[in-house]
Amino acid sequence: MVFEKLCTLLSGQFGVTPDAITMDTALQDDLNADSLDLVELMMTIEETFDVGQISEDAAANIHTVGDIVRLIGEE
């Protein structure tokens, strides 16, 4: 459920099809996310998944879609 919802969110923000996203999809290398994209993504995740504020330390360790799924699961 979290992964599917996240794929939909990412596909809208980065213009890729949800089917092209896997747990190993790298945000910067595969989706070409820049630092502004990542900040916007963190804010969207906070709102969409109601996980509260994501710390800078946690955000710095997010590199793949799987990292986000694990973070959401921990919150």
pLDDT block averages, 10 residues each, the chain of length 75: 95 95 97 96 95 93 96 79
CB 16, CB 65: distance < 8 Å: no
What local confidence, expressed as pLDDT, does residue 47 receive? 95
CA-closest candidate to residue 33, choices 10, 8, 9: 10
Instruction: Could you please state the CATH topology (level 3) that the domain comprising 2-74 is classified under.
Output: 1.10.1200
What local confidence, expressed as pLDDT, does residue 11 receive? 96
3-state secondary structure of 64: strand
The residues carrying an active-site annotation are 34
Token pair 């809208």 in the structure block, residue = 12
